Structure 1
Amino acid sequence: MRNDETEATVSRIQQDRVQHHGESARDGASYGDIAFLQRSSVYLSGEESAASKLATLAEEAKLATSEVQPPRNKAIAVCKSLIAGGVAGGVSRTAVAPLERLKILLQVQNPLKPKYNGTIQGLKYIWASEGLAGFFKGNGTNCARIVPNSAVKFYSYEQASSAILWLYRRQSGKEDAELTPLLRLGAGACAGIIAMSATYPMDMVRGRLTVQTEDSPMRYRGMFHAASTIMKEEGPLAVYKGWLPSVIGVIPYVGLNFAVYESLKDWLIKRNMVNKPDDSAELSVLTKLGCGAVAGTVGQTVAYPLDVIRRRMQMVGWRDASSVITADGQAKTPVQYAGMVDTFRKTVQNEGFRALYKGLIPNSVKVVPSIALAFVTYEVMKDLLGVEFRISD
């Protein structure tokens, strides 16, 4: 009699599950139901007690139910992931805004009349001439660009790495295969190209706003005024000046950031599992910050010359560019570059190869905390928002 009651209860659980997930099953999505029914038949054929069977089946039903996510829940998870990426970008860039502005000023200043001679002197000069607000000039536009850029970049990497891993496992025939550093670099490059292309006009406008100083002609009153003025005076495509070197530069930069960060994290986790089998293999926040710092340093060192070329190309067509760069209101010779190759050639010819690394030191100081904060903030935000998947999963 007790077994009959058990069978009836199990039957009701199964019917409830089939009814609850009927639509998902028709779409072929409820793989948990199939596994549930298979496990149920095994439990019914065993020698376990009726109470044990019911408890186990109830737990299996709960687990299988959680495997099926309605489209609305998936959309919410995507939104949460985008929010986490956006917050990570905003926090990391605002924290290093003074160094970001100094880097750009060093990149584009007149080599014959330099006003910024290094990180410390440059920061002191900005403070003396423009005050605290000078450190954050252009940061609002930068955040308006970097928030969506970071959101798209992190989410695109998640999707690209998942797709690449699926293809890699299918071609290799190894279901337990993991992403290699090279594959991670490819996924990061794809994410960087997508994010850069989607938000590049904002970067162009931000570059123009950032190089303005108190002594130079204040031609742009803000982000929207700058964008409209550029398109009106220089054409609609002017907001994409410097796009090519940016895309070329983002491939090693973002690709190496993700590849180095994840590979270094995986190596440290595996080492912890070997050296401390009884302890948690999870890395501390400080260790993750260190991984992000190493990743950022490697990526920006490789890609930095292309960033210099991009900034200089963005100044082309701006009739007051020379005055803005020298900040003395006297030099009116227009800045002329005919494409990426010509910009590279003239920069090296007139200023030497060292010019390709102008601003590298403040940029390095900026990158260490910026990239580290971005990665860690992203993971922390996903934990707070309850997003289940994460970068290294």
Structure 2
Amino acid sequence: MTTTGVVAHLVLVALLGYLAWLTPVMSARSVRFGVRVPDDRIEDPVVQRETTRFRTRVLAAGVVIALAGTGLILAAGIALLPAAVLAMLAVWYLLYFRANRVITAAKREQDWYAGVRQGVAVDTSLRNDPPRFPWPWLLLPALVVAATVVAGVLRYPGLPATLPMHFSGGTADRFAPKSVGSAFRIVFVQAAMTVVLCVSGVLVFRGPADVDPARPAASARAHRKFVTRLGTAMIALATLIDLGLFAAAWASWDASPNAGLLLPLTIGPVAVGVALLVFVVVGRNRDREPGEHTGLSHRDDDGNWIGGVLYRNADDPSWFVARRFGVGWTVNIGNRVALVTCLGLTAVVVLFGIFLPYILR
């Protein structure tokens, strides 16, 4: 149905647009659009102006992409959801990169770090007394995956000879012969996503802390609170994505050609999970405690970052470093061993996903 395509398109564009709009607050306190700034420049007029411009243009681009996509769906029945997603991502990064360049230029011209005492702070207690990972919570996504597997096994004998593989506007438009691969393809994706998100949640607790040298004690305590909330949010996201994929699998198993109407049920749980994760990330700087200030600022390490996104430092033995935007880590592309290993693992995962349906057929 056309209505389903329009709703899915608008929801995806709105979600990506909102995430892009939150970019200025989804980073460490002393990083603005990928640029390291001293404490007294965090609210600099240049930073504030670029933040306003970035958000205004993100909203304008989101409206244009939403209207263009809706027009294509209504006029020609073409739902180009991947194109809309790619367009929003491209606009997001181009505007981010522009703000990064403008702030970098202002920082260089005005010599923001002149006379600033730079330092590095480390929380050594993270090794001896790390935050406790909520292991019992892992049972939630595991139970959803198990329920999906059981439902699939029970329904498999009664499935039709051909199963829907793709839906357009709520109606199946591509089919495949019944097999373990075609019937359980979504279950395999569900299991893989669960492993990736839960492992990521575990790794959050083992990642290095970005301790603010201006407020070392307060930022160390804030880091502990943040990773605890983030790890729990990652598990919650895995659980909610699994619920959405359960609905998608059920739609694939349904014999009705309009089973795709169940697919919107996948959007709701995923949107809630993403919103929860974003709420935790945006709140990473809320636990600041007033009073403490050592007079130091983070060292100016912009020379190791390309566009505020890629980290390159051949002198750093670390394979991964904390991202300057969002959460998680990015690979040190200056470390050749780390780069080749990560590219190899990525290639293996992609090839596995491509050929798995043929192996199980």
TM-score (normalizing by structure 2): 0.31
Which structure would you say has the larger Rg?
1
TM-score (normalizing by structure 1): 0.29
Greater strand content: 2
Greater helix content: 1
